[in-house]
Chain A
Amino acid sequence: MSNLDTLLQILSWTLIISGSFFVVVGAIGMLRFPDFWARLHAASVTESGGVILLLAGMCIQAGLTLITVKLMIIGLFLFITGPTSTHAVANAALVSGLRPKSLATHPNSAEIESEKEIDA
C-alpha cells in the first residue's frame, strides 16, 4: 500500500515539475520569439502542456475527492476556452492586417499570400 503511495507521490512530483518547466518555457518563448505570430505558439505551450501537467499532478495529490472533480472541470474549461481565445486573438490580428515577417514558400500558400499582401 505504502509502495503504491510512494509511486503516486513520485508520479505527481514529476508531473508538477514538468508542468512548471513547460510554463516557464512558454514564458521564455513569449519573450524570445521575434514576432507576434511566433509568440502565439509560445503562449499555447503554457496553455496546453503546462496546464494539463500541473492539473494532472494536483489531481493525483488530491486523490479521489470532490477536489479532483473541480480540478477536472477547470481543466475541461481551460481546454475549451484556451484555444478559442488564442484563435480569437490570431483572427483579430489577421483581419487588422498583421502578417508574419517571413514566410516559407509552399505551393498551397503562395497564392493566398500574394493576395494578402495587397489588402494588407
Chain B
Amino acid sequence: MIYTIAILAILIAMALVLIRLIKGPTLYDRVLAVNSFGTHTVLLIGVVGFWNGRPDFLDIALLYALINFVGTIAILKFFRYRAIGDVMWSPPQQDEER
C-alpha cells in the first residue's frame, strides 16, 4: 500500500523529468535530466523490489547507480574532449598533465 504511493510518486516525477529531457534548451539541461532520471530509476527499482516482496532487486539498483554515474561522466567527458578514452595527446588545453 505504502509502496504503491511511493511508486506512483516516483513515476510522476520521472514523467516530469522526461518532459524536461525533451524540452531542455541546452545540452546540460538534458544531461542533468538524464542523471536525475537515473537516480529516480534506482529508487524505483528498490521500491518495486519491496512492493513485490523481493528485496533482491537492490543488487540491480546498485548496479544501475554505478552505470548512471559512469555514464554521466562519460557523456560530459565526450562533449568536452570529443573522446572517451585517454586524452593525453589532446591539444594543450590542460597543462597539468605533463
Instruction: Spell out A's residues near B (CB within 8 Å).
Output: 12-13, 16-17, 19-21, 23-24, 26-28, 30-31, 36, 39-40, 43, 46-47, 50-51, 54-55, 58, 61-62, 67, 70-71, 73-74, 77-78, 81-82, 84-86, 88-89, 92-93, 95-96, 98
- Least Cβ distance of A120 to chain B in Å? 14
- Least Cβ distance of B70 to chain A in Å? 9
Interface of B is mostly: helix
Q: Given contacts A67-B58, A77-B65, are A17 and B17 in contact (CB under 8 A)?
A: no
- Least Cβ distance of B78 to chain A in Å? 11
Instruction: Spell out B's residues near A (CB within 8 Å).
Output: 2-3, 5-6, 9-10, 12-14, 16-17, 19-20, 26, 28-29, 31-33, 35-36, 39-40, 42-43, 46-47, 50, 55, 58-59, 61-62, 65-66, 69, 72-73, 76, 79-80
- Least Cβ distance of A27 to chain B in Å? 4
Taking a contact as CB atoms under 8 Å apart, the answer to whether A71 and B46 are in contact is yes
Which residues of chain A come closer than 8 Å to B19, judged between CB atoms?
31
Taking a contact as CB atoms under 8 Å apart, the answer to whether B9 and A51 are in contact is no
Taking a contact as CB atoms under 8 Å apart, the answer to whether A81 and B32 are in contact is no
Q: Which one of A51, A61, A74 has the greatest number of beta carbons of chain B within 10 Å? A: A74
